[in-house]
Structure 1
Amino acid sequence: MTSREKINLIFNHKGDGLGAMWTGHPNDNTIPIYAKEWGIEETREAIFEHLEDDCRWITADRGYHHPDGVPLFDTSYGIKQRATLSAEGCFANAETVADIENYPWPKAEYCDFTKVYEEIDKYQDKMVFTGLWSPFFHIVADFFGMENYFIKMYENPEIVEAVTERIVDFYVEANEKFFAGLGDRADVMFFGNDFGTQLDLFISPDNFRKFVMPSFKRLIAVGKKYNKKVMLHSCGSIYRIIPDLIEAGVDVLHPIQAQAKGMSAAELAQYKDDLAFVGGIDAQSFFVNATPEQIKEEVRRVKSILGPSIVISPSHEEILPNVPAANVLAMAQASRE
């Protein structure tokens, strides 16, 4: 059985006794540390092969090529923007739809996914997570400035909805183009927006349903049209809107940030008939400080609670240099038991 076949069973809630693992995305500075530890090439792929990783994450965003080299979304367009979450972007003072019309919105016609398809073709035996990342929530926040964005939800909801619509228009059209050409090369549409802090959502559930969920549904509809499992990434505490995500058609939740409020394996177990999971092994402190044997015990514990519909992975895909190589190896070994 290939990794792809195995995880398809897991995602379809038929994976009794099957163990699977996704390493995540080792940081650039982590790669040489692990390579030296294991005597392998200094590449992510060498790490994945060493760990017998079942998955590959291949985003379609690299297929966007503006003829003039313009970035996908330049939120500092025409202004000098500070690199902070609260920094005002180019729409900070926009009050009407007319104020955003002159922005050079991206076009799906600038997408050429040939190279992305070629990369996916290399891993037909693996479970490939793909699609455009589509982080519209973050992009809207950058256009306005995060605090300003949340305030405008109350003071000027029309402009928030107009900016969101234009961003998501592109992602829907581009994903439509990508999945139409993808065919059956991959089985999972993977996209992400971080909606949670350590304790709660950034915005109220009501505002989430008003300003975010309609865009979610548009993106999910593309994945469903092409018969893909829809896998959503969101860090933080999002437990208050998990029923909404299920109703909207999300099939798989990643990365289940274990220390965030309401996101422990025990608390999420109530949803395991409706969702599959990828993640669950705490990367905030446990992965850094535990022994390899403790890692193995935690993997077994999480599998016993959320199994059989879980692919073991860290609770954040970015593996930082402070995570011991021995702990990542222990996770991989225990995940396959």
Structure 2
Amino acid sequence: MLSGSHSSLKRKKVDRNEYFVTQFIAPGLFEQCHHLQEIQNALINFYEEPECTHELIEYLTEWELQYAEKICKYIKPDAIFHHDDWGSQTSTFISPDMFEEFFLPSYKKIYGYYRDHGGRSCDSPCGFLRSNFGSVYDRDGN
């Protein structure tokens, strides 16, 4: 939707009555954790290095909130499609209690930011979610 030379690019206005504007965000927090330290180390570190794991997730959350600020400022999406991989076809990678301890506060911050800035968040997680479904989707009305 950009036209003109490199030095004079202009953003065309999007007709919001005609188009539903979205942004896809991946990887999610869990995937970022295991991309940075391999999945087996990430899973072990929930038990052996919980403080460091909390610090890593807090850092990733702050980075994603800075990214969200730019998305909301420049793209102004109607919705956010947020992807993460939380499990296999038969189970989640971590227990519901661990999910609530390590990830739920961060997802509430991230989804809350988008909600407060005019977007709606839609999760696109992979895996068996029955065990975490309630806690993930009970996000203060988001």
Q: What interval of TM-score do these two structures reach, taking the shorter chain for normalisation? A: 0.7 to 0.9
Q: Specify the SS of the correspondent of 2:121.
A: strand
- How far residue 177 of structure 1 moved from its aligned partner, in angstroms, is 2.3
- The aligned amino acid for 1:230 is S
Which protein is richer in strand relative to its size?
Answer: 2
Per-residue deviation, residues 71-113 of structure 1 (Å, max 9, x unmatched): xxxxxxxxxxxxxxxxxxxxxxxxxxxxxxxxxxxxxxxxxxx
Match of 1:218 among 98, 105, 109: 109
Take 1:195 and 1:140, find their aligned partners in 2: how far apart are those partners? Answer: 12
Match of 2:125 among 227, 230, 234: 234
Kept in 2: contact 1:230–1:249 (CA 8 A): no
The change in CA–CA distance for 1:200 and 1:210 in structure 2 (over 3 A counts) is: same
Normalised to the residue count of structure 2, the TM-score between the two structures is 0.81
Structure whose CA Rg is larger:
1
> 1:43 maps to what in 2?
none
Kept in 2: contact 1:132–1:191 (CA 8 A): yes
The change in CA–CA distance for 1:195 and 1:216 in structure 2 (over 3 A counts) is: same
Identity %: 21
Take 2:28 and 2:85, find their aligned partners in 1: how far apart are those partners? Answer: 8
> 2:54 maps to what in 1?
161
The change in CA–CA distance for 1:157 and 1:149 in structure 2 (over 3 A counts) is: same
The change in CA–CA distance for 1:119 and 1:144 in structure 2 (over 3 A counts) is: farther
Normalised to the residue count of structure 1, the TM-score between the two structures is 0.36
- How far residue 152 of structure 1 moved from its aligned partner, in angstroms, is 1.0
Take 1:123 and 1:138, find their aligned partners in 2: how far apart are those partners? Answer: 32
Q: Specify the SS of the correspondent of 2:94.
A: coil
Q: Could you say what the CA RMSD is over the residues aligned between the two structures, in angstroms?
A: 2.6
Take 2:58 and 2:43, find their aligned partners in 1: how far apart are those partners? Answer: 16
> 2:70 maps to what in 1?
177
- The aligned amino acid for 1:174 is Y
> 2:94 maps to what in 1?
203
Take 1:249 and 1:190, find their aligned partners in 2: how far apart are those partners? Answer: 18
The change in CA–CA distance for 1:147 and 1:125 in structure 2 (over 3 A counts) is: same
Kept in 2: contact 1:179–1:226 (CA 8 A): yes
- How far residue 120 of structure 1 moved from its aligned partner, in angstroms, is 8.4
Superposed structure 1 runs of 4+ greater than 3 Å apart: 131-134
Is 1:144 aligned to 2:37, yes or no?
Answer: yes
| Structure 1: gaps (5+ residues) | 1-114, 252-337
How many residue pairs match? The answer is: 134
Per-residue deviation, residues 241-279 of structure 1 (Å, max 9, x unmatched): 21112211575xxxxxxxxxxxxxxxxxxxxxxxxxxxx
Instruction: Report which structure shows greater RCO (CA 8 Å, sep ≥6).
Output: 2
Q: Specify the SS of the correspondent of 1:239.
A: coil
Kept in 1: contact 2:26–2:83 (CA 8 A): yes
Kept in 2: contact 1:190–1:230 (CA 8 A): yes
Kept in 1: contact 2:23–2:81 (CA 8 A): yes
- The aligned amino acid for 1:224 is R
The change in CA–CA distance for 1:126 and 1:239 in structure 2 (over 3 A counts) is: farther
The change in CA–CA distance for 1:161 and 1:120 in structure 2 (over 3 A counts) is: farther
| Structure 2: gaps (5+ residues) | 1-8
- The aligned amino acid for 1:127 is F
